[in-house]
Chain A
Amino acid sequence: MSKPTSLFVIFFSLFVMSEAVFEDQVGKFDWRQQYVGKTLFAHFDSHSQSSKKLFLATDKNIFASFNSRTGELFWRHVDKAGPEGTIDILLLHGQDALMVVGGGRLLRSWDTNMGGLNWEAVLDTGSFQAACFVAMQDTVKHVAVLKKAGTVRHWFSYLVYSGGEEEVYVLGVVPNSHLTIIAYSLEDGEIIKQRSVEAPWLSSVESSCVVVGHGVLMCVDTATLALYALPIQAEEAPQFNQILLQSLDLEVSPGFQPVLVSSQPHPARSPISEFFLQLGPDHHVLLQLNADGYTIAPLRDFQPAFLVSFSTTGEKTVAAVMTPKNETSDVFPPQLYVHAFLKKDDSVGYRVLVQTQDHALTFIQQPGRVVWTREEALADVVTMEMVDLPLTGTQAELEGEFGKKADGLFPMVLKRLSSQVILLQAWLAHLWKLFYEARKPHGQVKNEVTIETLSRDEFNLQKMMVMVTASGKLFGIDSKSGSILWKHYLENVQPNAVFKLIVQRTTAHFPHPPQCTLLIKDKDTGLASLHVFNPIFGRKSHIAPPALPRPILQSLLLPVIDQDYAKVLLLVDDQYKVTAFPSTKNVLQQLQEMASSIFFYLIRSDQGNLSGFRLRKDLSTERIWEVVLPTEVQKIVAVNGKRPNEHVHSQGRVMGDRSVLYKYLNPNLLAVVTESTDAHPERAFVGVFLVDGVTGRIIHEAVQRKARGPVHFVHSENWVVYEYWNTKSRRNEFSVLELFEGTELYNSTVFSSLDRPHLPQVLQQTYIFPSPITTMEATLTEKGITSRHLLVGLPSGAILSLPKMFLDPRRPEVVTEHSREENLIPYAPEMPIRTEWFINYNQTVARVKGIYTAPSGLESTCLVVAYGLDIYQTRVYPSKQFDVLKDDYDYVLISSVLFALFFATMISKRLAQVKLLNRAWR
């Protein structure tokens, strides 16, 4: 009997929860943006004149093709992350894009038209050094790849050169000693000749030498301030020819390493004889190597000029020089790619792709018009927050009315009347706009979102996404459309800096503007700085952040507010002294009053040390507890408290016999995850410690033997869900811990960690999950009434919305009446993955790094942003849309039926009256 019922229960529960996007809902409230990262190599498709393709290889191991007219992505190949997929070089010839991948592991050829893989070859072991095309009789047939294998040659720097003959030259340098030139035959790869040239001044051939003209190696030396020319193909013993820069009337900026730039337009031909010499950060000189191969003639001096580049079309070569217009350009462009083409009238036109320091890609056409800009910094979002949009002017007006102090009855009435008039005006304007727009043809109406028109919608579904990227660029993105509303580049941010974004004041405190604070910590020096800004407009706030002379260890946002409604941020420095921001008198007084109830904890992963501190009245701290997990056994991987904005509606679970099992809702509980240092599959383990952050008491510890990380976990309400790799069974497993206080509450009015004598009851269950995961987060709603789902990012790019109901340690093995009453699904070790649970249907998010959830104004709706390489925004309804009418709700039918009934009632009432009257007369 139990089997059919259990099946029924499963079936029923699935039926209730099955949810998916309908076809007509695609893209209605979700959007995805695809990024590629910082460009390493870029090529224009010069195969045909009308081609609008652009090929990029990036530091995220992505090979992508763009539409150069719009900046849209044609196709993209995402390789493995990390050194395995690194793109060493990208060479383009005709319709062939050649790529060396993974430090010289693979050689790939792509078809640039469709983006398909032509072929792939595994190269011999060795680290990649250089590669170039090799052409024979004007046809490009070969590619030369130079790799360093073992310790055969003690060279440190290499250059591969081929000038259209049947030889390939490899130049290797033994620093400060000599240069070796080896010529290989194209036929069989045999060494034809090998020569050595004394060059005691040369340390690296890559950074200071180029090939110019008919095989002349041109080098620049900083010490002697001279150019050296050397014919590579010379038969007899060659010698460097020194040309002093002074003789050319050139002067190098002090302390600057001169750089040479040259160009080889076609692999079958020699490089052009003109080349650039960079003499200072903004000083370039165009030089020409004369036909004799020894003398140099300066052609033109460019100052100021930041970047130079060559481009060739047909027989013409364009030298592009980028000069700054104003001195205060904050984004210095490190890379410049030029595409020159012949116009119809045979003049040369060009397009320029500029990669700037903030990872933005800008495409510029000849008259200096910016065609498109791509913010590639968004390929590496570090942290984000969602901020409510401000109220509209009229709403704010009303709010302001209630906010102000009362000043007499009559002025108040006047004020109320005036604000009502304003509301009426706004309403009329809105109606007029609707009417006006309705008359226009449909396509012309566009809802452009700008910062000025931003306002909160009825259900607070549209928010501002504040994203912090690794390059130090901040973005404000509209969550509804995905358009970037503001951006701000923070200069002097180290590449390995740590960011922490804090919302100090929300938009709820009109007329005070919302305020966000970004804590930026330099990993090397340990010093931190604060960037205070308005999250809606991106403007830097005029509030001066405190000076932080000492390295900052952690920050702590208090629920205490100052008189301007900004929450107080405490910064703990390396002497465990606390700095408050804002630190007005009012705040300091409040802090003194509350000091004894403010605690913080610090975890030093390298020492395996967890310690708790209590704030003293003088803003110093005292250590009150310490837990040491020996680092030789296990190391602390991650720690997570509960989210401060999380609400738990129900304080307990209703049992089958209608009693209550109260949840252990300790707001100070921390989940600390450790991994064993021993990686042997038999001895590896994963530990989960539940520690009270105030008292340091270990509430529970769960050790998963024969398990290995990476551990992904979510800590919320009274549960912790974590996922790990089971080394014994070789599978991914989900484990859930739930904490209950029992059938009676110890203290239902206040929760104090210092007064909790009883340990909670802990239940645990484990399930097999059929896929590895990359990240995990739980949904969050306004009041916490809606059931919870786990959002799981899979390596495939899908985001799975897994009902928490499946991860419930009370799932019974044997179905009883009580468990049926509780709607518990019978335990099954396998956790299903249902494709209709993918919230992003086919909009896969490559390399999901994090999922951010935010509540909306609707209890049923949770806003989700998944970020990684791509950014995907959508909404989820874990308990379906119980508080909203459906999209396809038939308003017309319902209202027509209502009206029909109303009129029928009126008419029949009249008829009944007439009839009664007639009867009375009879």
Chain B
Amino acid sequence: MAPPGGQGGGAVSTRGAGARRMKWALELSLGNARGRGDRQSNQGDVMYPIGYSDKSVPDTSIQETDKNLVEKRCWDVALGPLKQIPMNLFIMYMSGNTISIFPIMMVCMMAWRPIQALMSMSATFKLLENSNQQWLQGLAYSVGNLLGSALAIYKCQSMGLLPTHSSDWLAFIEPPQRMEIMGGGMVL
């Protein structure tokens, strides 16, 4: 919102044709130099102080439409992660299931962003403070992020990066303890 004083500045610069030629000018004469035809309201004989404008200043108080705007903005924030999902799906499809540097980077990005977002949840809530539907939006936001990370996990799974098979835990199996001691051989 522009401050109301700015209006006066505007009045100064628009005064008189001669003002076009100069950078700025101030008319200090009290006489009514202007023609009658002037439709401005300063035709009266009242002296106005410099910078006075009788035009009303717009109302800057919060109105109902602004409230809607905030609401909309908050929903934008809340639904952001959900909107990214189709894009992510496309990237997933494009990057394929081979394990190489680019798919890995993409998967990392995909996994990391929702996690980061979930970790900075409090900051997002602060952003949504003004909304009445704060909780709903918060929920949508977290669901969207969770979906994003689920997608990343699914991608990891399809790439075979998740330790879901028994073979992934093979290295941790300790050799079994032997119960009997045995030895011997051919008769010497």
B182 sits at the interface (CB 8 A)? yes
B37 sits at the interface (CB 8 A)? no
B184: contacting residue among A554, A605, A658, A752, CB under 8 A: A554
Complex Cα spacing A750 to B180, Å = 10
**What would 23 A/B residue contacts be, using CB atoms closer than 8 Å?**
A500-B188, A528-B188, A552-B188, A572-B184, A597-B180, A598-B181, A599-B180, A602-B185, A603-B185, A605-B186, A638-B186, A639-B185, A649-B171, A659-B165, A660-B165, A660-B170, A668-B178, A668-B182, A694-B182, A748-B173, A749-B174, A751-B176, A753-B179
- Shortest distance between the CB of A19 and any CB in chain B (Å): 25
B49 sits at the interface (CB 8 A)? no
Contacts of B165 in A (CB 8 A): 658-660
Complex Cα spacing A694 to B180, Å = 8
Pairwise interchain contact A752-B181, C-beta atoms closer than 8 A:
no
A597: contacting residue among B170, B171, B179, CB under 8 A: B179
Pairwise interchain contact B181-A559, C-beta atoms closer than 8 A:
yes
A599: contacting residue among B168, B182, B187, B188, CB under 8 A: B182
Contacts of A699 in B (CB 8 A): none
Pairwise interchain contact B170-A650, C-beta atoms closer than 8 A:
yes
- Shortest distance between the CB of A577 and any CB in chain B (Å): 15
B177 sits at the interface (CB 8 A)? yes
B167 sits at the interface (CB 8 A)? yes
Complex Cα spacing A752 to B168, Å = 26
Task: Mark each residue of chain B from 135 to 167: 1 if its CB lies under 8 Å from any CB of chain A, else 0.
Answer: 000000000000000000000000010000111
Contacts of B176 in A (CB 8 A): 665, 747-751
Task: Mark each residue of chain A from 737 to 778: 1 if its CB lies under 8 Å from any CB of chain B, else 0.
Answer: 000000101011111111000000000000000000000000
B183 sits at the interface (CB 8 A)? yes
Majority DSSP secondary structure for residues of B touching A: mixed
Pairwise interchain contact A603-B187, C-beta atoms closer than 8 A:
yes
| Residues 547 to 573 of chain A near chain B (Cβ within 8 Å) | 552-560, 570, 572
Complex Cα spacing A463 to B184, Å = 27
Q: A556-B183, A598-B182, A652-B173 are in contact. List 19 more A-B contacts (CB 8 A).
A: A553-B187, A554-B186, A554-B187, A554-B188, A557-B183, A558-B181, A594-B181, A601-B184, A603-B185, A603-B186, A639-B185, A652-B170, A658-B168, A659-B166, A660-B166, A694-B180, A750-B177, A751-B176, A752-B178
Contacts of A693 in B (CB 8 A): 182, 184
Complex Cα spacing A559 to B178, Å = 11
Complex Cα spacing A883 to B52, Å = 85
B167: contacting residue among A594, A636, A660, CB under 8 A: A660
Contacts of A594 in B (CB 8 A): 181
Complex Cα spacing A639 to B184, Å = 10
| Residues 106 to 160 of chain B near chain A (Cβ within 8 Å) | 160
- Shortest distance between the CB of A812 and any CB in chain B (Å): 19
Pairwise interchain contact B183-A600, C-beta atoms closer than 8 A:
yes
Majority DSSP secondary structure for residues of A touching B: strand
Pairwise interchain contact B179-A752, C-beta atoms closer than 8 A:
yes
Number of interface residues of A (CB under 8 A): 56
Complex Cα spacing A572 to B176, Å = 29
Pairwise interchain contact A604-B175, C-beta atoms closer than 8 A:
no
| Residues 644 to 696 of chain A near chain B (Cβ within 8 Å) | 647-652, 654-655, 658-660, 665, 667-668, 693-694
Known A-B contacts A553-B187, A658-B160, A659-B165; A599 and B181 likewise in contact (beta carbons under 8 Å): yes
- Shortest distance between the CB of A596 and any CB in chain B (Å): 9
- Kindly name the residue among B170, B173, B177, B179 whose own CB sees the greatest number of chain A CB atoms within 10 A: B179
- Shortest distance between the CB of B36 and any CB in chain A (Å): 58
Known A-B contacts A552-B188, A554-B184, A603-B187; A651 and B170 likewise in contact (beta carbons under 8 Å): yes
A298 sits at the interface (CB 8 A)? no
| Residues 564 to 616 of chain A near chain B (Cβ within 8 Å) | 570, 572, 594, 597-605
Number of interface residues of B (CB under 8 A): 23
Known A-B contacts A651-B175, A654-B170; A668 and B188 likewise in contact (beta carbons under 8 Å): no
- Shortest distance between the CB of B182 and any CB in chain A (Å): 5
- Shortest distance between the CB of A65 and any CB in chain B (Å): 39
- Nearest A residue (CB) for B177: A750
- Nearest A residue (CB) for B172: A651
Complex Cα spacing A601 to B187, Å = 9
Complex Cα spacing A519 to B185, Å = 14
| Residues 22 to 39 of chain B near chain A (Cβ within 8 Å) | none
- Kindly name the residue among B170, B178, B182 whose own CB sees the greatest number of chain A CB atoms within 10 A: B182
Contacts of B186 in A (CB 8 A): 554, 602-605, 636, 638-639
- Nearest A residue (CB) for B171: A650
A795 sits at the interface (CB 8 A)? no
A243 sits at the interface (CB 8 A)? no
Pairwise interchain contact B177-A753, C-beta atoms closer than 8 A:
no
| Residues 375 to 399 of chain A near chain B (Cβ within 8 Å) | none
Known A-B contacts A500-B188, A554-B187; A667 and B182 likewise in contact (beta carbons under 8 Å): yes
A304 sits at the interface (CB 8 A)? no
- Nearest B residue (CB) for A668: B182
Contacts of A519 in B (CB 8 A): 188
Complex Cα spacing A554 to B185, Å = 7
Which 3 A-B residue pairs are closest in the complex by CB-CB distance?
A556-B183, A752-B179, A600-B184
- Nearest B residue (CB) for A603: B186
Complex Cα spacing A604 to B175, Å = 33
Task: Mark each residue of chain A from 404 to 431: 1 if its CB lies under 8 Å from any CB of chain B, else 0.
Answer: 0000000000000000000000000000
Complex Cα spacing A604 to B185, Å = 9
A521 sits at the interface (CB 8 A)? yes
Complex Cα spacing A572 to B183, Å = 11
- Kindly name the residue among B171, B179, B180 whose own CB sees the greatest number of chain A CB atoms within 10 A: B180
A115 sits at the interface (CB 8 A)? no
Complex Cα spacing A659 to B168, Å = 9
Pairwise interchain contact B187-A754, C-beta atoms closer than 8 A:
no
- Shortest distance between the CB of A756 and any CB in chain B (Å): 11
Contacts of B177 in A (CB 8 A): 749-751
- Nearest A residue (CB) for B167: A654
- Shortest distance between the CB of A594 and any CB in chain B (Å): 7
Contacts of A743 in B (CB 8 A): 166
Contacts of A803 in B (CB 8 A): none
A484 sits at the interface (CB 8 A)? no
Pairwise interchain contact B170-A754, C-beta atoms closer than 8 A:
no
- Shortest distance between the CB of B29 and any CB in chain A (Å): 47
Complex Cα spacing A601 to B179, Å = 16
A538 sits at the interface (CB 8 A)? no
- Nearest B residue (CB) for A640: B185
Task: Mark each residue of chain A from 514 to 534: 1 if its CB lies under 8 Å from any CB of chain B, else 0.
Answer: 000001010000001000000
Pairwise interchain contact A602-B187, C-beta atoms closer than 8 A:
yes
Contacts of A553 in B (CB 8 A): 187-188
Contacts of B183 in A (CB 8 A): 554-558, 570, 600-601, 641
- Shortest distance between the CB of B173 and any CB in chain A (Å): 5
Contacts of A559 in B (CB 8 A): 181
- Nearest B residue (CB) for A657: B165
- Nearest A residue (CB) for B169: A660
A261 sits at the interface (CB 8 A)? no
Pairwise interchain contact A753-B180, C-beta atoms closer than 8 A:
yes
Contacts of A555 in B (CB 8 A): 183
Pairwise interchain contact A659-B179, C-beta atoms closer than 8 A:
no
A655: contacting residue among B160, B167, B184, B185, CB under 8 A: B167
Complex Cα spacing A648 to B175, Å = 8
Contacts of A558 in B (CB 8 A): 181, 183
Pairwise interchain contact B175-A601, C-beta atoms closer than 8 A:
no
Known A-B contacts A603-B187, A660-B170; A665 and B175 likewise in contact (beta carbons under 8 Å): yes
Contacts of B174 in A (CB 8 A): 748-749
- Nearest B residue (CB) for A560: B181
A498 sits at the interface (CB 8 A)? yes
- Shortest distance between the CB of B185 and any CB in chain A (Å): 6
Complex Cα spacing A558 to B178, Å = 13
| Residues 713 to 746 of chain A near chain B (Cβ within 8 Å) | 743, 745
- Kindly name the residue among B168, B170, B171, B175 whose own CB sees the greatest number of chain A CB atoms within 10 A: B175
Contacts of A754 in B (CB 8 A): 179-180
Contacts of A521 in B (CB 8 A): 188
Complex Cα spacing A638 to B184, Å = 13
Contacts of A570 in B (CB 8 A): 183
